[in-house]
Structure 1
Amino acid sequence: MRDFSDAYGAPFALISNPTTAQHSVVLSCSADASLVDPVQVDTWVAYWGQWLAGLAYEPGLVSASVSIESAPDTGERLRKEVLGNIDPSAPDLARAVLNQVMYDYPLGSAEITSRVVLTYAEREYGARGGVADMAAEIGTRLPGLAGGLGMTGAGPAEPMTAGELAEMVRVVYDPEVGVLVDQAHDGADFALRWDEAGAIAAQEGWDHYRHDGAFSITWSMTDAPRGKVFSTVLSRMVALQPDIVRKRVTLLYRPHSPSESARLVERDHKDALFRARQARIAQARDSVDLRAADQSAREEATGAGLVRFCC
């Protein structure tokens, strides 16, 4: 992992995998869908679909992922904010109220973070490949991609630096370090290196992964929902649970090129039509599949993109 600068001079970290010749950049977002009118949510969903469709025209982009992580709030950031702005000459009652809020508010509250990861393949650039050249190519398009996320409800999107990514990975391996990391930033020059971000000790099991005193278990989606999918479908999944220290819900996207999209939707439409006509007795599942395939073909013909996804 190395730090580079985008077209506007903002720093961003580039994670390179020499084995697959792929490079990833992480965007930190501030998504918040609480107390939002349904009309605004519909607008966000429409712009999110437009943003995903635009990924098909990104040269070299092979995948994108969105991660929503929920964890108990350590309260350190709130304490630093209050202590840094409190007035010594303030009334005693006001100071007492602030002190009570500072210590009681973090109890039971959740810290929700959202990140978007974009992965590019070096093979798309031929002889111009290389970490520095890939960083230059990605840096020119990164401000536009980050700016487009602002209309999707993701809030301000900013590229994460190498130090921020190292801290994030270290806390993921050992959640108890989160409080220490927040305290280390209190007026100190603290920087965690990438080679210090991994687990000190780890052990794999059949149904879990143990690392630094914590256990990780992963569930993956086996089939997409067959009914209508509303904007609140993941609300319960991303909500904080008392028996889980940190929860992370990740959606993986692999966009198809426009030519592949047209070919795939037409093939799916023909397959669904063939199954519906072959059955002697019409089945509800075949009818639903045919309507969905027909709708996908019409939307693709009017400019919509086609993206593979999993959760």
Structure 2
Amino acid sequence: MTAPAADLEIRLHRPGQRPKRVGFFGMSLKASVYGIVGLLLGVVVWMWKQNGWLGLTIIVGTVLVLLPMVIAPGGRSFYERTEHTMRWWSRKLNGSTVYRPGPHGRVPDGMYKLPGILNQTTMHMGRDYLGNDFGIIHRRRGDQYTIVLDCYPGGDEAVTQAQRDLMTADWGAYLAGIGLPGDVVLAAVTVEEIPATGHRLALEVEQDISNSPSELASAMMRQSAIQFPAGKQQTMARMAITFKAKTKEHRTEPEEMATDLARRLPALYEDLAGAGVEAVPMTAEEITAFVHRSYDPSSEPLLEELDIAGESHGIAWENAGAATRTEWNHFRHAGAVSVVWEMQAPPDSVFPDTILKPLLRPHDELTRKRLTVFYRPFSAGDAARSVNREYKDALNALNQKKGVKSAQDELRVEASEQARNEQVRGAGLVRYSALMTVTVDSMEALPTAASIHDALTARASLNVRRCYGFQDAAFAAALGIGINLADHSTVSSLGKN
């Protein structure tokens, strides 16, 4: 029996376009404005002040100032790179790249607080109207609250192409829906692999053989429970949704925000069923557990044993951190070494819905890895203004060029026009990015792990680069607990392209 031809057709997706404002000669709008001001000033001095040398000096100076802004390999101008490097060395000199918490550390209260941008967060609790407890991470800077959902994707092994297309469409509708209220600033989806301890499997086996009359069969089952998880990884998925407080009560009283989220939360995790994902809210204790084991991987077996036994781990959010040290291209934490990469650009061409499979599959050589995809949804009004502005800019860039138009400019017009049409028909508009983390036990294992990761990202058609100079912040953001790196940028906007 053969499947219908329509069911065998693989639907391809566009990566979207990076928003940009195009000025004269293909330069950015900001560089064009700077250039026009400088050139006009030089011409005015030359003609009206009768000072040709001064006017020429201003014009040449304007060109020299613009060149580092216009030349932007990898999407970052030389000004951005220079300022970023200077800020890194400033951190290195003042000692802020080393974090030593605890009674003998440099933290004033002697606690093991989370490092860096997580240091000023607090944990609160709530209960939705279905009776499920949930944790709330409050970030005082920006008045943002984050809830985390424990997700159980169904997989696609026994799913037809038509069903996968429907799930993908439902996922797009879900992202569009969470952007409608206007207070969701970030949604982060995290899929990670950690070494399998086998404790949970052993418990299930003991429960199954508790009434077994055969000692030989029971012994074989116990032995299998020990051998099967050896060298394997367990995959976990979660989704974090970050809300911005809109009222004074929500900004000052986390309990008020918890009451509001208790009303909205069930719809947020029940609506994921259409995308093939079962989800439940994570409690404050569960969130604290995975954050702590991420910074201190040696705690994984103990935390899992306590979870299986139904006992509390007793770790407060204020004590979930560990000693860390940030280097230019890697991050040390509690005896482990991690490297974080950021997505520099999406795939260059259309792609199927399975493009991320190489990164999501467990790998024997990468026992701890994490992929986090960030979505920043637009509200309905902002989405309409954004797609219209992008379409106008794309047309402007295309019409500026004489003769044969470049294929890149034509594709940008086509993509922006399609985005306008889809937005009018109810589709949502989101900005997206991704962070990938690999954690190893020693520096000696890092080159091999990095090489394997580069091969996996190449198979996924992703253009990535290391998060040079901000590995600690990227590691915290990649945990998927509501940290948006765009809110913590320290690079001045004056030198951006």
Shorter-chain TM-score bucket reads over 0.9
User: Which position in structure 1 is the counterpart of 2:149?
Assistant: 27
CA contact 1:273–1:290 (8 Å) conserved in 2 = yes
Partner of residue 56 from structure 1, selected from 179, 188, 206: 179
Query: Which residue identity lines up with residue 258 of structure 2 in the other structure?
Result: A
Mean alpha-carbon deviation: is it higher for 276-285 or for 20-29? 276-285
Q: How far does residue 97 in structure 1 lie from its aligned partner after superposition?
A: 3.6
Within 1, Cα distance between the matches of 2:180 and 2:281?
Answer: 21
Contact 2:233 2:367 in 1 (8 A): no
Look up the match of 2:386.
264
* Aligned position for 2:432: 309
Asked whether the 8 Å contact 1:166–1:196 carries over to 2, the reply is no
- Which residue of the partner structure matches residue 298 of structure 2? 176
State yes or no: 1:238 paired with 2:238: no
- Equivalence for 1:70: 193
2:252 matches 1:159: no
CA contact (8 A) 1:56 1:256 kept: yes
Call closer, same or farther: CA 1:128–1:71 in 2, change over 3 Å. Answer: closer
SS at match of 2:272: helix
CA distance in 2, matches of 1:24, 1:81: 33
**Aligned pairs for 1:131-170 within 5 A:** 131-154=254-277, 156-170=278-292
Structure 1 range deviating more: 30-39 or 208-217: 30-39
Q: Is the Cα contact below 8 Å between 1:65 and 1:251 reproduced in 2?
A: yes
CA contact under 8 A between 1:71 and 1:240: conserved in structure 2? no
Distance 1:233 1:188, change over 3 A: closer
Structure 2 CA distance for partners of 1:245 and 1:300, relative to 1, 3 Å: same
8 Å Cα contact 1:60/1:125 also seen in 2 = no
Determine the C-alpha separation between the residues in 1 that align with 2:366 and 2:407.
Answer: 39
The residue type equivalent to 1:80 in the other structure is L
SS of corresponding position for 1:49: helix
| Structure-1 separation of matches of 2:261 and 2:184 | 10
Sequence identity of aligned pairs in percent? 33
Q: 1:98 matched to which residue of 2?
A: 221
Counterpart residue identity of residue 290, structure 1: V
Deviation by residue 1:93-138 (Cα, 9 ceiling, x = unmatched):
532442232112212332111111111112x123453201111111
Look up the equivalent residue of 1:273 and give its one-letter code: L
Q: Is the aligned partner of 1:126 residue 2:285?
A: no
Instruction: Give the partner amino acid of 2:188.
Output: S
Matches within 5 A, 1:197-212: 197-199=320-322, 201-212=323-334
1: CA distance between counterparts of 2:160 and 2:217? 34
Q: Deviations over 1:141-168 (max 9, x none)?
A: 00000001111122x2111111111111
| Separation in structure 1 between the aligned mates of residue 399 and residue 162 of structure 2, nearest angstrom | 40
Is contact 1:175-1:245 (8 Å) kept? no
Paired residue secondary structure (2:242): strand
**SS state of the match for residue 213, structure 2?**
coil
Whether the 8 Å contact between 2:125 and 2:258 is mirrored in structure 1 is: no
Partner of 2:203 in structure 1? Answer: 80
Which SS does the other structure have where 1:176 is aligned?
helix
Counterpart residue type for residue 184 of structure 1: L
Once the two structures are TM-superposed, the CA of residue 240 in structure 1 deviates from its matched residue by 2.6
The one of 138, 155, 164 aligned to 1:16: 138
User: Who is 2:129 aligned against?
Assistant: 7
Greater Rg by CA: 2
2:164 to 38, 41, 45: 41
Taking a change above 3 Å as real, the CA distance of residues 204 and 284 of structure 1, as seen in their structure-2 partners, is same
Q: How has the CA–CA distance of structure 1 residues 34 and 72 changed in structure 2, closer, same or farther, with 3 Å as cutoff?
A: farther
- Under a length normalisation based on structure 2, what TM-score does the superposition of the two structures give? 0.59
Q: Of residues 333, 343, 347 in structure 2, which corresponds to 1:225? A: 347
Query: Number of matched residues?
Result: 308
Residue 186 of structure 1, CA deviation:
4.7
Q: Determine whether 1:285 maps to 2:408.
A: yes
Question: What is the CA distance between 1:188 and its match in structure 2?
Answer: 6.0
Deviations 1:24-76 (A, max 9, x none): 11001011324132222111101000000001113521111111111221111
Equivalents in 1 of 2:281, 2:203: separation in Å?
24
Q: More helix by proportion, 1 or 2?
A: 2
Q: State the shift of 1:22 in Å.
A: 1.0
Gaps of 5+ in 1: none
Contact 2:156 2:164 survives alignment (8 Å):
no
Residues 75 and 281 (structure 1 numbering): CA distance in 2 closer, same or farther, change over 3 Å? Answer: same
* Structure 2 counterpart SS, 1:167: helix
Farther-moved stretch of structure 1 (248-257 vs 265-274): 265-274
2:234 to 101, 106, 111: 111
The counterpart of 1:251, out of the listed 373, 376, 387, is: 373
**Runs (4+) of structure 1 moved beyond 6 Å?**
none
